Structure 1
Amino acid sequence: MSQVLFKGQQLGKYEVIDSLGTGGFASVYLARDQWINKLVALKVPHYQNYDLDHLLKEPRMLARLTHPNIIGVMGAEKEGGLFFFVMEYVEGESFETLLEREKMLPHGLACRYILQVCDAVGYAHSQMILHRDLRPANIMLSKTGAAKVGDFGVAALMEKTPYAKTIIGTPPYMSAEHFQGKAVYASDVYSIGIILYEMVTAQLPYYDVNPAKIEALIMEGKCTPPRIHNKDVPRELNNIILRTMAREVQNRYQSCAELAEAISLFIGKPLEKKEMADIKTRIRAREQTPSL
């Protein structure tokens, strides 16, 4: 059953300051560690009746991860019968909030954010952790511009299995094999591609109010290329996004490192002929404008 905490409520040494949000499995609160005067985030699972091993699954998984682009765990506690774990507090906003306000981002900025996400998720994969729910709501952007991947609540430990069998996640960001109960590391890569698509077009490639119809669209694998929605998306980036979102796993980038390399080469490449021609045209126009 969902647990509601109130402003000013005490949980041991933690004072609740505000609610940061509620999801399907847990609520998150801004709190202050009164012993060291530090702001933290408290994550409180809705269902408290599970045994302790089950409740500790996510914080134990997070304890394996130390990365500047992953929201860190600081501990797990139980006060007054209430289990919660203590997370790093990221002052900023989620990618979801950013996109609700800005609609779409300049492709260069979007790529730089996605490179940070690739670094974080690739590191998680190196620790045999599959996220399974990468979406804008689960990635924070700090006030210093750092992307921070969070919410490993449905993540899977891949030590003893070739793929994750449980079908769980957010349908518009799930790959075809994820819907089939065969999620692999490249399934997270697919989700990153969907996020990048959304960042540069202000819309999802596959969407319907009915999740079953979303699955059917994804299984068909036909989406509108980003350049059709936004002519400012360069052809090379358009092709990178489409490959990241390929329906068949073997046609996709196989790792976050491969995707990051492609994006890095794109960002670092010299200007294309068309871009250079546009710049020269603007320069000539300025030169021909009589000074006042």
Structure 2
Amino acid sequence: MPCEKTQEPSNPNDGGENFAELDPTGRYGRYNDLLGSGAVKKVYRAFDLQEGIEVAWNQVKLRNFSEDYSVINRLHSEVKLLRTLKNANIIALYSVWRDEDSNHLNFITEVCTSGNLRDYLKKHRRVAVKAVKKWAKQVLEGLEYLHTHEPCVIHRDLNCSNIFVNGNTGQVKIGDLGLAAIVGKSHAAHSILGTPEYMAPELYEENYTEMVDIYSLGMCILEMVTREIPYSECDSVVKIYKKVINGVMPQSMSKVTDPEVKEFIGKCIALPRARPSASDLLKDPFFNEIAD
């Protein structure tokens, strides 16, 4: 005789589970534990009762941005975009809804067990070049998916704080697509957005393509091998900007002792026309020792 289905409790305090709240369907329960927080959203640990897996509950207080429609529109764009993307190296989105009573935008995403790559590197300070290559290759696979997507998607804010890690498997995934641009057949975008230390010079000129993500990857690899945020010697965005547009390398480049790594970073941060695509870089000899 088949088991009778039971309705999940709508009250967070019912059912013995210590949830702060449940989603409207009763499938996802949010705990009070914060996984991270930023300028726009808080991310809580949560649980998918149907699948029996931990997930991330992203919560945005829309009232904080009631006068700034550009932020609200950007958040809606991120969610809409994420729902269309299916790739092993892109954070997956499972559900989204707006809570009218609390004026929150909530969305449930995949969670990576070890947080972001920047924090992960702080915990594990001795990492071989082979591990860096494995991470870089996976990020490139995610970028190749975005850049060859129809329409083309430029991330525009790739850095080690929005690359996420499953430390038990070594898998990394690109997240935080809130600044991503869908550029279509022209592959050209025209707004200045991103994290200054990782922004390609052409981004400041407001005329760029998906190659800005390749530049950012180069800066991410630089951070992976030196444990330093690029241009940390600069104490203002203006100073970073001046160095970037004048082609002055971050001081941390002098700390890269492996010539192969330095050469690969150089390819990533070359002038736009000389910068290889994600597909080209995946064929680079730099990854010869890394199995598919």
Scaled by the length of structure 2, the TM-score of the pair is: 0.80
Would you say 1:82 and 2:95 are equivalent positions?
Answer: no
Cα separation, 2, equivalents of 1:113 and 1:201: 15
**1:259 Cα deviation (Å)?**
1.7
User: Secondary structure of 1:77's partner?
Assistant: strand
**1:174 Cα deviation (Å)?**
0.5
Tell me what 1:56 maps to. 76
Q: 1:205 to 1:38 in 2, by over 3 A?
A: closer
Tell me what 2:147 maps to. 125
Unaligned segments of structure 1, at least 5 residues:
1-6, 270-292
User: Secondary structure of 1:93's partner?
Assistant: coil
Cα separation, 2, equivalents of 1:184 and 1:245: 14
Percent identity among equivalent residues? 27
Tell me what 1:183 maps to. 208
8 Å Cα contact 2:116-2:164 kept in structure 1: yes
Q: 1:54 to 1:168 in 2, by over 3 A?
A: closer
Tell me what 2:249 maps to. 223
Cα separation, 2, equivalents of 1:131 and 1:46: 23
Would you say 1:250 and 2:273 are equivalent positions?
Answer: yes
Q: Which amino acid aligns with 1:249?
A: P
Tell me what 2:21 maps to. 10
8 Å Cα contact 2:139-2:174 kept in structure 1: yes
Cα separation, 1, equivalents of 2:222 and 2:75: 34
Unaligned segments of structure 2, at least 5 residues:
1-17
Q: Which amino acid aligns with 1:9?
A: A
Cα separation, 2, equivalents of 1:31 and 1:145: 22
**1:191 Cα deviation (Å)?**
0.3
Which of the residues 130, 138, 157 maps onto 2:162?
138
Cα separation, 2, equivalents of 1:8 and 1:137: 28
Tell me what 1:285 maps to. none
Would you say 1:165 and 2:185 are equivalent positions?
Answer: no
Deviates more, 1:167-176 or 1:94-103: 94-103
Deviates more, 1:48-57 or 1:136-145: 48-57
User: Secondary structure of 2:184's partner?
Assistant: coil
Tell me what 2:62 maps to. 47
**1:222 Cα deviation (Å)?**
2.4
Q: Which amino acid aligns with 1:240?
A: F
Scaled by the length of structure 1, the TM-score of the pair is: 0.80
Deviates more, 1:23-32 or 1:110-119: 23-32
Q: 1:215 to 1:62 in 2, by over 3 A?
A: same
User: Secondary structure of 2:47's partner?
Assistant: strand
Tell me what 2:91 maps to. 71
Would you say 1:241 and 2:265 are equivalent positions?
Answer: yes
Q: Which amino acid aligns with 2:128?
A: P
Cα separation, 2, equivalents of 1:191 and 1:138: 12
8 Å Cα contact 2:218-2:265 kept in structure 1: yes
Cα separation, 1, equivalents of 2:228 and 2:75: 35
Give the number of aligned pairs: 257
Q: Which amino acid aligns with 1:29?
A: Y
- For each residue in 1:113-133, what CA deviation from the matched residue of structure 2 results, as whole angstroms up to 9, or x when unmatched? 100000011101111111011
User: Secondary structure of 1:188's partner?
Assistant: helix
8 Å Cα contact 1:29-1:41 kept in structure 2: yes
**1:138 Cα deviation (Å)?**
0.3
Q: Which amino acid aligns with 1:75?
A: S
